[in-house]
Amino acid sequence: MCGHMRFYKPSMPKIFNFTQFSLRDLIVTAGPAALAIALVCLIAYRLIDPSPPQHVTISTGQENGAYEEFAKKYARALAKQHIAVTLKRSLGSQENLERLNDPRSGIDIAFVQSGSTEQAEAERKGLISLGSLFTEPVWLFLRDTRDVTQLTQLKGLKINVGPEGTGVPQLFKKILSVNGVEPSDLTLGTLENTPATVALLEGRIDGLVFSVAPEELLIQMLLQTPGIKLFDFAQAEAYTRRFPFLSHVVLPRGIVDLGRDLPPKDYHLIAPTATLVARENMHPALIDLFVQAASDIHGGTGWFRKQGEFPTASYTEIPVARDAEKFYKSGPPFLQRYMSFWLANFFERMWVVIVALGALLLPLSRVVPPLYVWKVRSRVYRWYGQLRTVEQAVEDVPREKRLAVYPAQLARLNEIEEKVNQISIPLSFAEELYGLRSHINFVRKRITGLMQTQ
């Protein structure tokens, strides 16, 4: 018999089909709020746009010029953050400015020399500056057969200022104007830098004007070429008062070659600055990247700058971007000092959403729990309405109808009890369920008693 013994496990009554927690009720009560929060986050993400573009096009300058060489350094810096930079050559500052003013050009950022535009015009066109990067002195080289100590002595000479797209012609005409010299008083050539240098060396022109960084190879060569001399702007400080975008710099004696004592004296020069200019809708994260790259590329010492003097928010007539100005005052954003750029940028862009979510979650944390409790209890309480209907049905029933009404209501009570036994409810709410079952039994006893006394 023992060999045929079977162990019987009684099925647990449905009334004990309890759980510790009702996930379904929580989803029903908290779901709409969670969906609304997710929708708000999605909309905010799209509006705030925390992720910068993965590709940028920068307008540089002439082939092998300083702008192009520096642009290559920016491309390498941004490549470390997985942002591709395309370089597009131009004649120079003025053409770069024209490209920025034309949204169809596809240019996102460009090198522009200070003084190339006016503040009101830049604001009207929606341009922003990411700061001044380095000085670009005005180099006026002349054949040493010309004894020129003042710009008024240039009248009648052939001076090359380069193509209009370089920005030098406009700058030099401003300089001539404050000296009372009209462009028609001399012959202004439009050759590019290299052929102009050849023309000067061959004696076909009397002088040429550059406005470039001293790293430019042609500058280095001309400073050491016999028969060519550099014009000394003795009134350099006065120029800076007339034109705020200019600065007074000094080419120190011997800086080119100490052994040969080149140059043989200090030369005073006037210098606009090269600036990075973009449209005002440039992504803030890209501004951060370019400004930080600028600090690494241009922050060292040079012929005309001390350590940390550049980049700077000064020397530009174009409004400086707020994020760039903040960097020059306070350094990199706080989070970027401790996190990767992409993660820090995400939190910096989304902090408004995070704060808003905190403000939204606080009241929801007080509303959702009571809703959850109400939702669970409602699954029990709604049967009290059915129970009350049974009670009302047996109240003051005429004698001739009692034989039909009482049994029918007892059957109704059994149906209610059967459905109540199928309710799945968290353990913490079991008291309400057992209370309902006891009340069902109470009504049943009452009906049974009425049937016995009829």
Mean pLDDT by 10 residues, the chain (454 residues): 45 48 64 74 66 90 87 95 94 92 94 91 94 94 92 96 88 94 95 93 95 87 95 95 91 92 95 94 90 93 85 91 90 73 69 70 73 78 86 83 85 88 78 86 86 75
Residue 153 and residue 250 in one domain? yes
Question: Taking the model in full, what pTM does it have?
Answer: 0.65
In the prediction, which pLDDT does 403 show? 81
Q: Is residue 289 part of a domain?
A: no
Q: Are 284 and 323 in contact (CB under 8 A)?
A: yes
Q: Look at residue 75 in the predicted model and tell me its pLDDT.
A: 96
The pLDDT, as a whole number, for residue 10 is 44
Q: Kindly state whether residue 405 falls inside one of the protein's structural domains.
A: yes
* Positions of E strands within 222-360: 228-230, 247-251, 267-271, 273-279
Is 358 inside any structural domain?
A: yes
**212, 211, 166: which is closest to 191 by C-alpha?**
166
Task: Using the 3D structure, point to which of 271, 300, 333 is the last residue of a domain.
Answer: 271
Tokens at residue 192, please? Answer: 């590019």
64 φ/ψ sector (left φ>0, alpha ψ -120 to 50, else beta): left
Tokens 């000296």 -> residue: 179
- Domain hosting 389: range is 11-40+351-453
Residues 157, 248 within the same domain: yes
Amino acid 48: pLDDT: 63
Give CA–CA dist 389/407, Å, rounded.
15
**Same-domain pairing of 255 and 366:** no
Positive or negative: CA dihedral 197, 186, 243, 92:
negative
Q: What is the CATH number of the domain that holds 264?
A: 3.40.190.10
Cα torsion angle, 8, 13, 18, 24, sign: positive
Please indicate, yes or no, whether residues 267 and 366 belong to a single structural domain of this protein. no
Joined together, the tokens standing for residue 143 give 């054949």
Domain end, chosen from 271, 292, 317, is at 271
141 and 242 part of one domain? yes
Total count of domains within the chain: 2
Three-state DSSP class for 313?
coil
Amino acid of residue 402: R
* Whether 59 contacts 277, CB under 8 Å: no
Same domain, 150 and 30: no
Residue 128 located in a structural domain: no
